[in-house]
Amino acid sequence: MLLSYAYNSIDETGRMFMPSKFCEDFDVNRSDDDEGAVLPSPGKLRKNYAGRCVIMHGVDRCLYAYPVQNWERLIADLRTLPSDDDNIRDLLRHYVGTSTFCDIDKQGRLTIPQEARNYAGLAKDLACIGMIDMLEIWDRKTYENSVSGKNFKELSNYASKLKRERTGDG
């Protein structure tokens, strides 16, 4: 489960080090290969997700980085939505249409594609936020501005109200 946050940076070629607290979730530095390589041979990618993730455009001008197995669960959930609904198709285009498989190299670096960096406005300083089954990657200033002034007590009350409505307890 992806929890917590880390501040990070991205270099001019679009590489960021995967923060160590998230490496286990992305199976960084693990492999079933006999040689012990971080990245599996192409024939083993479906069985061994070591050092791979899926990056997609998020909804808040950030990027979502999913461990492959979590991304596959998301896709399974998205397939249950009615494809004849215009809004659903737009959402699918945004999520699935911007998804890219990315490798994490032997040094634990993730190369973020240029189009994705442009979308999220990533320049140098990053904020990486664990969001249960995915990692959000933000430009640090954009992230700080997005949470600045938020009333988290009101948000907690909103979540409680939503939960009561869904369970019929209120």
**What domains appear along the chain, each with residue ranges and CATH number?**
5-167 (3.40.1550.20)
- Whole-number pLDDT of residue 16: 95
The CA distance from 19 to 30, in Å, is 15
CB 122 within 8 A of CB 113: no
Measure the CA dihedral 13/15/99/72, to 10°.
160
Question: Does pLDDT of 52 surpass 90?
Answer: no
Choice among 14-23, 27-36, 40-49, 66-75 with the minimum mean pLDDT: 40-49
CB 126 within 8 A of CB 7: yes
Name the burial class of residue 157, with classes exposed (0-12), middle (13-18) and buried (19+) by CB atoms within 10 angstroms of its CB: exposed
CB 21 within 8 A of CB 73: no
The CA distance from 4 to 9, in Å, is 17
The CA distance from 92 to 25, in Å, is 25
Question: Does pLDDT of 84 surpass 90?
Answer: yes
* pTM higher than 0.85: no
Tokens 């998020």 map to which residue? 58
Tokens 């991205």 map to which residue? 10
How many whole angstroms from its chain centre is CA 62?
9
